[in-house]
Amino acid sequence: MKRNVFSMLMLASGLAGISYEILYGRILGNLIGDQFAVSAAILITFLLGIGIGSRYAWRLWPWLWLIEAAIGICGAAFALGTDALDRLLYVGLPVFQSQLGGTVLIAMLLLILPAFLIGCSVPLFAGYMSRMFPGAAFSGVYAVYNLGAALTALLIEYLLIRWFGIQGATLGFVVLNLLIAIILKGWFSDISHPVEPSGKRAFKISSRRWLALIPVSMASAAFQLFMIKLAEMLLGPFRESFALVLSIILLGIAVGSMLVRFYAIRFQILVLAGMAGLVLLMASIEPVAYLYAMLYGVASEHYITSVLLKWTVLALLMGIPAIAFGATIPALLGKRCGDVSRESGQLLYVASLANVGGFLLMVLLLHRYLDYGVQLVVICALASLSWLIYAGRTVRASMVVLLFLMPMVAIEQGQWDEDLLYVSYTKFRDAEKLGRARKAFDFPEKYKGYQDVFSINWINGTPYFFINGYTSIPLNSPSEKVVGALSSIHAPALDRALVLGLGSGATASVVGEMFDSTDVVEINPVVRENLFRMRKWNLDIESNPKVNIIVDDAIHYSKVSDKSYDLILNTVTTPLYFSSAKLYTQDFFEVMKKRLQPDGVYVTWMDGRVGDRGVDIILNTIAASFQYCAIFYIKSSYFMLICSDRPVLPAQIEKVASHEKLRGHFLSEYGLLVEWMPYQQLNSRAFDLIADTELPLNRADFPALEFEMAKLSGRGIGLFKSRLLDEMGFHHFDGSVLGGAKLLPAAVVKNASVMLGESSITRRWRAITEGGVGDLLQQDMNAHHYYVQALVEAGNVNALHKYGSKLMRQKRYGLALQVFHQAIFMDGRHNNTHFNMGACYEYLGNYPVALKYYEKEIEVDPTDIDAFYRIGRVYVKMKRYTEAVGQLQAVLKLEGGTSKGQVYRYLGRAFEGLGLTEDAKKAFRQAKAFKENNG
């Protein structure tokens, strides 16, 4: 009975111990941000504190109960003293107030005591167990403690914080620690007396053992960081990914310790097993990734099955090394029955210091300068060094090492596909999509920092922005620049702006052009370091003297800054990503209001990934901080929210529209009119679109939005879009300077068509316009001529061609031909313009002119097979059947281009026209067969 109770106390202590590292990280992240310096400081402090605590735990033998109580008291202080911590970090110590280094130093000082206390637990529990039950091995204690820790890693992420919030979860573990302390004091006080000297020789770690422990512990730390990055690449850069990796690492320690306990596995065998696991990991990443992609669709139907799939995939990849590396300390201790608290403490101390070394090696050298495949080889080499130290530097030992290292190097040089990790985690959710993504993927331009990876991914000739496992927008897309322009248009003044999130620099570059002073805050140093590589897509923002780029976390910068802004623009990634989630909380909105001028505007965004409930959570949270909110479209499911305590108006429309550089850039590069951008407003009262006002607000302590998004099996905000479309109307422009504009209805439709094509928003605006009054046809023609003239003045032939193609798809062939004629006048050899003109004339029934333009297209592009087919098709329509047969049969001999089913169909009609019935039937059969075989 007593042994079972004590085992339960160890399990509970393990549950609580790791929880504080996770929860303290969240608390401090909410206070000072998630930048690398903060996360690194927290990890190093815990490793050092735990190591020192392990080393000197034996000196505190009588006080295990008090240590557990003190751990709980520290937790209570952190949970209940958040406001006091905030004042301490930003007000109480003005010397450090504006310096991130000073803030991090304070955080380390706050963490060192609880880390030290947690480090004391395992050696003392092991010592108590061995004293109560002679023969009990350290491995058993270590297994139980880490089993509790593994459960905690999952419980915190998937249950406790979602039920009780960060503060509530922390206080729950505080109560648990206090209960452990009470039971230890009341029931186990008889063994808390100091150990009497036994007269035996004190345990001393042999140099061979502690020297062998150092490289394998470094390898273990580097391996853990490697797996966190791999999980980000495959599963996404989410908190869930980190929790899954951490749980497997801790479970690996528990399983490895039990294997040592029951099977007395030796240290050198474990190291070899770890090396074998690394070889298997390198060889199996690609097949396991495809297995995950094949199963994800079925698993994602239920949240729990999707989590189980992710955990299983990671366990398959990292299970063997996690078990092997996790069991090294129990293996070195064996079944010693001496002063277990002192002996285990010494080994844990060495391992903790080596873990720090492995962490620093990984972030300062390996991750920054080596590909991921090479990193695995180096980790295996560290394990090999450990084996050589322990087994002896003999020829035989060296041969054994080479048996593992040589296959590792061979796989890295041959089978390993580094580019697989850069296709974006979203592609690993469907095997077909993954296959298509691999084919479309050209190459990545990779640049890595201490923990982040940034890349310019070239996909089908288009550059994309990639960061930490996620491929974002094309760098040549206008969307982000439109965000910058729209935000500037609705600012009350153009004096000072703050942009949160630099990214490619596209959004901030537009804001920087308009404002007298623009501060841009970017959390990721590697993005800032490589900004110059994206100058062609960001108006060379680095050369703009009015722009000041700061590498910092948005929370930390906003709290230490004393500036006030007319515009604050949040462009950071979706709140599903752990470093971004806090920027969508009520706490953060309140900080932003302190940095805004009284009439200033705060701009943020949302898209289909937040889900319908997520939209309501975002709008509910914004409504708790701002009185007004207007919603604008950027894409069909990508929306911008402009929030303020004053009505949202396009106060700067004239200044922005008259900015020659920006207006010319938008027209010449994208075919967009700056003066029409305010027409992208969909609703001036976005809070009226909330369906459920009872949903919880998104708070730092309870990030409801993050939890809601994590449960989504697919993207989509269909219910919200239905409400949005129903409430659209020109009355939302009332009260603004655009309300009485003559071209308003037609320009709204025209701009939506240019920006979105034939989306549901475009169709809705068209329906609203057609249901109105006035000379709509004349307004439409005025808008048409205004837009075409602007494109001509900008010299944008591509935009003219694109606009003409939209008109052609709308069956407005006469207007389309006018636009195409203008494009040909500007560039007589513009590809596909002659083709489209031929198509327009064909659809109008003017076949001779259609033939002329199809033939001109072939002069421009002799490889255009579709043009050859169209000529044959027109011959059929003109009843020139003999020429049609020759033309279409020639097309069939060519590869690519138009579907052969269509060619056979028109060939059959040509044969029919010639009276060749059997040939016609044969051609029609071939057309039918081709259609059936190709869907």
Lowest mean pLDDT segment, chosen from 56-65, 77-86, 497-506, 795-804: 56-65
Q: pLDDT confidence of 577, banded at 50, 70, 90?
A: confident
- Highest averaged pLDDT of the listed ranges 202-211, 592-601, 733-742: 592-601
Place of tokens 């500037």: 488
The residue among 935 and 893 whose pLDDT is bigger is 893
* Residue among 408, 406, 410, 419 at smallest CA distance from 321: 408
- Highest averaged pLDDT of the listed ranges 145-154, 392-401, 836-845, 892-901: 836-845
Q: Please give the mean pLDDT across all residues of the chain.
A: 88
Give the tokens for residue 479: 């969307």
How far apart (Å, rounded) are the C-alpha atoms in residues 771 and 930? 45
In this prediction, residue 486 carries a pLDDT of 97
pLDDT by residue (tens digit) across 89-102?
A: 776 555 554 555 66
Q: What is the dihedral of CA 305, 692, 584, 596, to 10 degrees?
A: 180
| Domain residue ranges of the chain, discontinuous segments joined by + | 2-189+206-416, 420-471, 482-737, 863-935
The residue among 112 and 195 whose pLDDT is bigger is 112
Residue 697 gets which letter from DSSP? P
Lowest mean pLDDT segment, chosen from 38-47, 198-207, 814-823, 903-912: 198-207
pLDDT by residue (tens digit) across 385-410?
A: 999 999 887 888 888 889 999 999 99
The residue among 88 and 596 whose pLDDT is bigger is 596
Instruction: Name every residue whose Cβ is closer than 8 Å to that of residue 785 and which is 6 or more positions away in sequence.
Output: none
- Residues 435, 515 contacting (CB under 8 angstroms): no
Q: Examine the pLDDT at 25 and tell me if it is beyond 90.
A: no
Going by their DSSP bridges, the two strands 681-683 and 547-551 should be labelled as: unpaired
Side chain identity at residue 723, one-letter code: R
Going by their DSSP bridges, the two strands 547-551 and 565-570 should be labelled as: unpaired
In this prediction, residue 568 carries a pLDDT of 98
Examine domains 2-189+206-416 and 482-737 and report if their fold is the same.
no
Q: pLDDT confidence of 303, banded at 50, 70, 90?
A: confident
How far apart (Å, rounded) are the C-alpha atoms in residues 369 and 367? 6
Q: Which superfamily is assigned to 863-935 in CATH?
A: Tetratricopeptide repeat domain (1.25.40.10)
DSSP 163-217: HHHHHHHHHHHHHHHHHHHHHHHHHSGGG-SPPPP-SSPPP---HHHHHHHHHHH
In this prediction, residue 457 carries a pLDDT of 96
From first CA to last CA, the distance across the chain in angstroms is 70
pLDDT by residue (tens digit) across 340-370?
A: 667 777 888 899 999 999 999 998 899 999 9
Residues of the chain with pLDDT > 70, as a percent, come to 92
Report, in angstroms and rounded to the nearest whole number, the Rg of the chain calculated over CA atoms.
33
Q: Which residues pair with 607 in a beta bridge?
A: 638
CA distances from 449 to 374, 455, 520 (A): 16, 11, 20
Place of tokens 């990890």: 43
Four-way CATH pick for 2-189+206-416: 3.30.70.330, 1.10.1740.10, 1.10.1670.10, 1.20.1250.20: 1.20.1250.20
- Residues 642, 630 contacting (CB under 8 angstroms): yes
Lowest mean pLDDT segment, chosen from 125-139, 607-621, 688-702, 823-837: 125-139
Q: Considering the entire predicted model, what is its pTM?
A: 0.88
In this prediction, residue 727 carries a pLDDT of 95
Q: Which residues pair with 633 in a beta bridge?
A: 639
Q: Quickly count: other Cβ atoms within 10 Å of residue 593's Cβ.
A: 17
Instruction: Name every residue whose Cβ is closer than 8 Å to that of residue 40 and which is 6 or more positions away in sequence.
Output: 359, 363, 450, 451
Q: pLDDT confidence of 36, banded at 50, 70, 90?
A: low
How far apart (Å, rounded) are the C-alpha atoms in residues 436 and 427? 9
Q: Examine the pLDDT at 741 and tell me if it is beyond 70.
A: no
How far apart (Å, rounded) are the C-alpha atoms in residues 583 and 580? 6
pLDDT by residue (tens digit) across 715-740?
A: 678 999 999 999 999 888 876 656 44
pLDDT by residue (tens digit) across 876-901?
A: 999 999 999 999 999 888 865 556 78
pLDDT by residue (tens digit) across 188-205?
A: 776 766 655 444 455 566
pLDDT by residue (tens digit) across 227-277?
A: 999 999 999 888 888 899 999 999 999 999 999 988 889 999 999 999 999
Instruction: Classify domain 482-737 at the CATH topology level.
Output: Rossmann fold (3.40.50)
- Residues 28, 108 contacting (CB under 8 angstroms): no
